[in-house]
Structure 1
Amino acid sequence: MQYASSPARHPTRMLTACAIALLIVAPTAGPASAADSHSYDFESPSQKLPFMAIQGSGHVLVGPAPGGKSGRAARVDVPNDGRSFKSELVIKGLDAGNHRFSFANYLPPDWQRQDVDTIVAQWFSTQSDDPRIKPVVALSIHGGDWRLKVHWMTNDTIQETVISLGAARLSNWNHWTFDIAWSSPGAPGSIAVTRDGVNVGSHQGANNYHRGEPPHFRIGAYRPGWRPEKASNTAGRADVVLFVDDIDITSTIGSRRGDSPTATSTPSPAGSPSPSTAPTPSESPSSAVETGAVQNGGVPVPSVASAPTDGTSPAPPLRKASEATSETAGRTGAIGAAGGVAAMAGIVFVLLRRRNATRSRRRAHRSSGR
């Protein structure tokens, strides 16, 4: 009588199947801790860039970094044509945990100071049911100063606080770090901001709307006053041109809520936050053209002319913490997989020896009984 084959009758097949399963499963488990980290330095032509949110005829191109900085950077353009108002790189998929956001930006020497907001980085929580919604956190340049705006909601009313981050310098690379712990309905959050290693501002308390998806990150240029429905007077105002580089996002989930990994925090602005008097309509997925960014090595990309320098030395590049995390996690996953395969091989080897010993005893018993 013949029997259907089973793994017990074919230990070699069982060993092979177990080894393959471990090799497939184990490495995927390793880098899970780095899944919420992202890094873009624009140096590799093969690096896939984030999605782009372009409204009008603006663009984001990769070329030589200006200001005496070595390597490449992303040039962001928003033309003053009556219909363009933003060109941003969009990084979604972040969870609601604590994160450190690091990036560098550069305002060219011909930057035109204007009494309007130009948002250069924002954290946006999509709220499809409310057209009043503003970014929960926004870094902008207004006139000649950097500003941080934080928004939250109390009794269905949008609240806003504005924090001054100091004067903006032209022809200068600014290296920013934002340590953000998002608030929840039952616990306050925190924001700590450094520029070029110096703490320039902080916020304690509510910092999002506590509904919808966790905030995602956008970097580039967004000028709300140029939205067509605002009918703003843009005559004589120059195009918006700036550069961004060294984007690095890492999860700091180990930090306690409300604490910041940075050194000393500056006090929060005095006084109670006042309600926002004229909320700016913000974009929803339907109002912005979300396009997949073409890899800068896939098609010819126009070179970006380097802006004149002011004689300052370039700042040292930011450490790619997410890359180190990914490398370490991948190495751990590979070691785990190899160890798992070795353990399974040892188990199968023991089972094989036992089976062979049992067979030998049975043969001896049958021989003695004949």
Structure 2
Amino acid sequence: MPHAMPLSPAGRPVRLLTACTCALLVAGMAATPAAAADSVSYDFESPSQKLPFMAINGFGRVLVGPAPGGRPGQAARVNIPNDGRSFKSELVIKGLDAGSHRFGFANYLPGDWQERDLDTIVAQWFSTQDDGGGIKPVVALSIHGANWQLKVHWMRGGEIQEAVIPLGAARPGHWNRWTFDITWSSAGRPGAIAVARDGVTVGSHQGANNYHRGEPPHFRIGAYRPSWRPEKGPSKRVGAAEAVLFLDDIAITSTAAGSPPDVRTAAPGGASPSQSPAPSPSPTPAGSPSASSPLQAGEAPVGGDTSPGATAPEARTDATAPGNAGRIGAVGGAVGAAAALAGGAFVLLRRRNATGSPGSAHRRART
């Protein structure tokens, strides 16, 4: 006599229920990468969180340790020593498409930050070109002298065009909360950039904002001093202190083109929008090998190239890092759906609101 097939509490064969559950789980996992690629966040609080790789030229470091300036929790400390060789220490986040995104992050210049009439780039959007040559970032946030500024680049008639947008005075010893709403331009469509600092719009740009060839712009955040590149000689390093700054609460979210930032629309004495001519074709960027210096006491390394003396390609990226948070959320959702079928319980996963603080729950009270 054949054995009776066991039934679930609802009276359905367990075998069928299991097959449906597995199918849903596989389908959910297959859909994960698309959501993960454009939704990433890093708050530097969990030692188990996989973070981006570093792009370092010379002996700078990106280390995780206590946040300065009265901010609770952890932050990333970035430094570039004035040693005649070092000029860049950045985290690199790739895998974004050429659509619209909101980039949020916090940064902090120490109270003893040295004002120099040379750019220190603290965030840049870089378009790697097909021919592997070198070219300026399409968008770059920098501190120049005592002020913040944004540079936007595009190509016209085979030459790079530049717009410089003032963003107000820098405030050493103060945590800045930045929001960049960016829609990338294409050969036949203008782009848009809206910049907010501490909840107030401080600058904007309408028109071409990239070179329209090669890979979509990827995001780099940290510190980069172009004037310190060794081929430019030692003169611009004389009398300069090492560059040290802090980063926290990085969040990138895909958005609908043209969606307005959740900020006040005008800043007292703020910059007016800049415009560029119609988009036109373009060329190229690059990198070089990097080495890392030993860790400092009380700090942990960020990224993959973290062992003392390790060397890695400047533009190296982690194939699994972009979208870690998104992958975890989407896979969790699939597992929750499977559990709902198996036991009748529903798991509701809430995604992080990209316009709020992207840090962990205990850090939402930050300013």
With normalisation by structure 1, the TM-score equals: 0.72
**For the structure 1 residues 53 and 283, does the alpha-carbon distance in structure 2 shift closer, same or farther, using more than 3 Å as the test?**
farther
**Do the aligned partners of 1:18 and 1:341 also contact (CA within 8 Å) in 2?**
no
Any idea what the Cα deviations from partners look like across 1:29-58, whole Å, max 9, x if unmatched? 367434411111111111111010010011
Give the AA of the match of 2:167: L
**Do the aligned partners of 1:22 and 1:341 also contact (CA within 8 Å) in 2?**
no
Matches within 5 A, 1:176-255: 176-233=178-235, 234-252=237-255, 255=256
Pairwise CA distance, 1:12: 7.8
Partner Cα separation in structure 1 for residue 46 and residue 101 of structure 2? 25
Q: 2:97: which partner in 1?
A: 95
Q: 1:169: which partner in 2?
A: 171
- Any stretches of 5+ residues in structure 1 without a counterpart? 1-10, 274-280, 292-298, 305-321, 343-370
**Do the aligned partners of 1:225 and 1:232 also contact (CA within 8 Å) in 2?**
no
Q: 2:145: which partner in 1?
A: 143
Pairwise CA distance, 1:179: 0.5
Partner Cα separation in structure 2 for residue 187 and residue 290 of structure 1? 40
Q: 1:303: which partner in 2?
A: 298
Q: 2:117: which partner in 1?
A: 115
Partner Cα separation in structure 2 for residue 282 and residue 83 of structure 1? 24
SS in 1 for 2:249: strand
**Do the aligned partners of 2:194 and 2:203 also contact (CA within 8 Å) in 1?**
yes
**For the structure 1 residues 328 and 64, does the alpha-carbon distance in structure 2 shift closer, same or farther, using more than 3 Å as the test?**
closer
Match among 104, 123, 129 for residue 106 of structure 2: 104
**Do the aligned partners of 2:193 and 2:206 also contact (CA within 8 Å) in 1?**
yes
Q: 2:26: which partner in 1?
A: 24
Pairwise CA distance, 1:28: 3.9
Q: 1:289: which partner in 2?
A: 290
Q: 1:4: which partner in 2?
A: none
**Do the aligned partners of 2:106 and 2:178 also contact (CA within 8 Å) in 1?**
yes
Partner Cα separation in structure 1 for residue 340 and residue 65 of structure 2? 45
Pairwise CA distance, 1:16: 5.0
1:269 paired with 2:271, answer no
SS in 1 for 2:231: helix
Partner Cα separation in structure 2 for residue 272 and residue 56 of structure 1? 38
**Do the aligned partners of 1:193 and 1:201 also contact (CA within 8 Å) in 2?**
yes
SS in 2 for 1:67: coil
- Any stretches of 5+ residues in structure 2 without a counterpart? 1-12, 300-322, 344-367
Pairwise CA distance, 1:335: 5.4
**Do the aligned partners of 2:127 and 2:284 also contact (CA within 8 Å) in 1?**
no
Pairwise CA distance, 1:154: 1.1
Q: 2:49: which partner in 1?
A: 47
* Structure with greater helix percent: 1
SS in 1 for 2:240: coil
Match among 155, 158, 161 for residue 160 of structure 2: 158
Q: 1:355: which partner in 2?
A: none
**Do the aligned partners of 1:30 and 1:332 also contact (CA within 8 Å) in 2?**
no
Q: 2:334: which partner in 1?
A: 333
Give the AA of the match of 2:242: D
Partner Cα separation in structure 1 for residue 59 and residue 74 of structure 2? 23
Partner Cα separation in structure 2 for residue 175 and residue 58 of structure 1? 24
Output the aligned Cα RMSD. Answer: 3.2
Partner Cα separation in structure 1 for residue 37 and residue 25 of structure 2? 19
**Do the aligned partners of 1:27 and 1:336 also contact (CA within 8 Å) in 2?**
no
**Do the aligned partners of 1:135 and 1:282 also contact (CA within 8 Å) in 2?**
no
Give the AA of the match of 1:127: Q
Give the AA of the match of 1:303: G
**Do the aligned partners of 1:73 and 1:244 also contact (CA within 8 Å) in 2?**
yes
Pairwise CA distance, 1:333: 3.3
